[in-house]
Amino acid sequence: MENEAINEDSKDIPKKTMRDTLYGNLDVSVKTMDRVLIVLFILLALSLVIGILV
Q: Report which secondary-structure segment, H or E, holds 39.
A: helix 30-53
How much is the pLDDT for 2?
59
SS3 content of the chain, % helix, strand, coil (to 5): 75, 0, 25
Residue pLDDT, tens place only, 11-52: 677 777 777 777 677 788 878 888 999 999 999 999 999 999
Q: What pLDDT was estimated at residue 20?
A: 74
What is residue 46's predicted lDDT score, i.e. its pLDDT?
A: 97
Instruction: Give the pLDDT of residue 16.
Output: 76
